Structure 1
Amino acid sequence: MQTIRSQVYRFSRDNEPCARVAPGEVLVFSTLDCFSNRLTDEGVTMATLDYGYDVANPAAGPVYVEGAEPGDVLVVDVYDIAVADEGTIATDDHCGPLHEGMPYATKKVPIRDGYALFNEVRIPVRPMIGVIGCAPDGPDVIDGYVGSHGGNMDNRLIGAGTRLHLPVRVPGALLQMGDVHAAMGDAEICGTGIEIPARITVRVSLLKGFVLNWPVLETADRWYVNACGQEYDEACKAASAELHRLLSQQTGWSRADVYMYMSVQCDLELNQACKPCAVPLSLRFGAPKLSQFPPLIPVPSTIVR
């Protein structure tokens, strides 16, 4: 089992792979927090930190997956996320709906016995991967941003026991991940969750020749299309179109029937919406699993059930 420690700050087809693996292999990604572990105590805030988007949200990787080609899907099974014993939350004066007049502040949050200790409140630790994706086939994308390649989706459901399907855009896929949160609410309203270093254990598999335009998360009972846009309507339209396409392909129903079904059975939920912010709004559109039909996305042959 390889451990991936190299850190990069952009998703890029030009990033040099730090490891090469075959489909079916298990890997451990060793990650820093989104501040590159630089908010060392509560006396250090984002006001004095050189926190440009080109040095934030480091991701471990990238990893070259043998046989991955444009037009394939990289499948990532998340087995475990082990977090450190202390996390960090921070605010600034330019991110989130209450940013005006909000002071810069840093809060250190101890992690004890499965809980984060926030003042008098014990918050259950539910580790999630904020940044995960493959390299785009166009311009580089800074790790703190999100796109159809994945990136900073900040979907709090991407945790242990889930399976993420990522579009492959370049040879080898170039998988990278980081920005783990010990806990986060939908929308990540102040711009940070409980940011924390972690060790992420995953298995990578390959689905050949399956068209996927946006990342899709699979949980025990649902499928979630993850999409983004600078404004809500753009993100909503992108997620709706991809979920509609996949459900139409799965069920064979008419366009109108699928649209109506989405309206009564599918849920549109925010991932990250700390506007105003330069980072696009990220959301997920979830559909129940349907036992009457084949899976929304086929299971790769390297996965044994």
Structure 2
Amino acid sequence: MKTIENQVYAFSKDNEPCETVQPGEVLKFKTLDCFSNKITGEDITMNDLDYGYDVANPAAGPVFIEGAEAGDVLVVDIYDIQVADEGTVATDDHCGPLFETTGYRTKKIKISDGMADFNGVKFPIDPMIGVIGTAPDGEDVIDGYVGSHGGNMDNKLITKGVRLYFPVRVPGALLQMGDVHAAMGDAELCGTGIEIPAEITVKVSLVKGFELNWPVLETRDSWYVNASAQEYNEALVNASKEMQRLLMGVTGWDPVETYMYMSIQSDVEINQGCKPCEVQLSLRLGTPKLPQFPPLVPQP
């Protein structure tokens, strides 16, 4: 199994691959926390960091997948996420609905036997990957931002046992990932979960020649389209159009029937919505699996 330790700070078609692998290989990505492990104690806050291009949200990679071409789909199976024994939660003066009263503050969270301890309140961790995706074919996208390539989706369902599908837009796909959280609530209100270094074990596969416009997540029971935009309504339109298109492709229903079905069976959930932070709003639109029809995305 190959181990990926190189860190990059943007999704870019110009990033030099740190490793080349074949479809079907299992890989281990060693990741830093979203602060590049620079917040070592509660006396250090985000205000003390030069929280720019070379600090925020590092991602391990990128990995070149042999045979991946523009128009394909990269499939990533999340086998395991192992986290460190201490994570960090931090606030700043421009993120989340209560930003005006928050300021800069850091809290360290101990992790032991799968439990986090917040002021004596213990709860089970559920490690998830905040940043994961492929390279865009246009301008670079900083790791802290989100888009149709993936990136900083901050979807708390991206955890052990799920499968992700990404559009391939450049040769080799250039997969990278990082920004693991030991736990995070939907919307990530103050802008951070329990940020933590981690080791992620995944398998990579390909689906050749299938149109995918936004990343798709498959869980045991449901399909989710992940979409984003500066404003909620635009993000919702992006996700709805893609889910409608994928459902029509397997059911044969017309657009209105498909839209009706989505209205009675699909759920909209906010991944990250910590405005006025400049990062786009990220959401997921989920639909239960339809066992009488083929999968929404072909299987590798």
TM bucket normalised to smaller:
over 0.9
Other-structure match for 2:203: 203
What pairs with 1:117-266 in structure 2 (closer than 5 Å)? Answer: 117-266=117-266
Give percent identity, aligned residues only.
73
Query: In structure 2, how many angstroms separate the alpha carbons of the residues matched to 1:53 and 1:98?
Result: 25
- Per-residue Cα deviation, 1:18-48 (whole angstroms, up to 9, x for no partner): 0000000000000000000000000000111
Other-structure match for 1:299: 299
Opposite residue 177 of structure 2, the aligned amino acid is M
What SS does the corresponding residue of 1:186 show, helix, strand or coil? coil
Opposite residue 281 of structure 1, the aligned amino acid is L
- Per-residue Cα deviation, 1:36-64 (whole angstroms, up to 9, x for no partner): 00000000001111112553000000000
Query: In structure 2, how many angstroms separate the alpha carbons of the residues matched to 1:216 and 1:52?
Result: 29
Q: Report whether the alignment pairs 1:26 with 2:26.
A: yes
Query: In structure 2, how many angstroms separate the alpha carbons of the residues matched to 1:38 and 1:55?
Result: 8
Does the aligned pair in 2 maintain the 1:145–1:279 contact within 8 Å?
yes
Other-structure match for 2:273: 273
TM-aligned CA deviation for residue 123 of structure 1: 2.0
Query: In structure 1, how many angstroms separate the alpha carbons of the residues matched to 2:244 and 2:169?
Result: 22
Opposite residue 102 of structure 1, the aligned amino acid is T
Query: In structure 1, how many angstroms separate the alpha carbons of the residues matched to 2:280 and 2:292?
Result: 36
Using the TM superposition, name which of 25-34 and 116-125 deviates more: 116-125
Opposite residue 67 of structure 2, the aligned amino acid is G
Query: In structure 2, how many angstroms separate the alpha carbons of the residues matched to 1:14 and 1:103?
Result: 37
TM-aligned CA deviation for residue 84 of structure 1: 0.3
Does the aligned pair in 2 maintain the 1:89–1:108 contact within 8 Å?
yes
TM-aligned CA deviation for residue 264 of structure 1: 0.3
Opposite residue 184 of structure 1, the aligned amino acid is M
Opposite residue 261 of structure 1, the aligned amino acid is Y
Q: Report whether the alignment pairs 1:105 with 2:135.
A: no
Opposite residue 258 of structure 1, the aligned amino acid is T
Q: Report whether the alignment pairs 1:68 with 2:68.
A: yes
Count of residue pairs brought into register by the alignment: 300
What pairs with 1:79-90 in structure 2 (closer than 5 Å)? Answer: 79-90=79-90
What SS does the corresponding residue of 1:100 show, helix, strand or coil? helix
Opposite residue 220 of structure 2, the aligned amino acid is A
Cα RMSD for the two superposed structures: 0.6
TM-aligned CA deviation for residue 72 of structure 1: 0.2
Other-structure match for 2:36: 36
TM-score scaled by length of structure 1: 0.98
Query: In structure 2, how many angstroms separate the alpha carbons of the residues matched to 1:123 and 1:195?
Result: 16
Query: In structure 2, how many angstroms separate the alpha carbons of the residues matched to 1:110 and 1:53?
Result: 28
Query: In structure 1, how many angstroms separate the alpha carbons of the residues matched to 2:296 and 2:183?
Result: 29
Does the aligned pair in 2 maintain the 1:148–1:213 contact within 8 Å?
yes
Query: In structure 1, how many angstroms separate the alpha carbons of the residues matched to 2:102 and 2:87?
Result: 21
Other-structure match for 1:115: 115
What SS does the corresponding residue of 2:80 show, helix, strand or coil? strand
In structure 2, runs of 5+ residues without a counterpart are none
Query: In structure 2, how many angstroms separate the alpha carbons of the residues matched to 1:100 and 1:253?
Result: 48
Query: In structure 2, how many angstroms separate the alpha carbons of the residues matched to 1:23 and 1:52?
Result: 34
In structure 1, runs of 5+ residues without a counterpart are 301-305
Query: In structure 1, how many angstroms separate the alpha carbons of the residues matched to 2:101 and 2:246?
Result: 44
Query: In structure 1, how many angstroms separate the alpha carbons of the residues matched to 2:15 and 2:123?
Result: 37
Query: In structure 2, how many angstroms separate the alpha carbons of the residues matched to 1:205 and 1:52?
Result: 33
What SS does the corresponding residue of 1:47 show, helix, strand or coil? helix
After TM superposition, the runs of 4+ consecutive aligned structure 1 residues lying more than 4 A away are none
What pairs with 1:281-292 in structure 2 (closer than 5 Å)? Answer: 281-292=281-292
What SS does the corresponding residue of 2:23 show, helix, strand or coil? coil
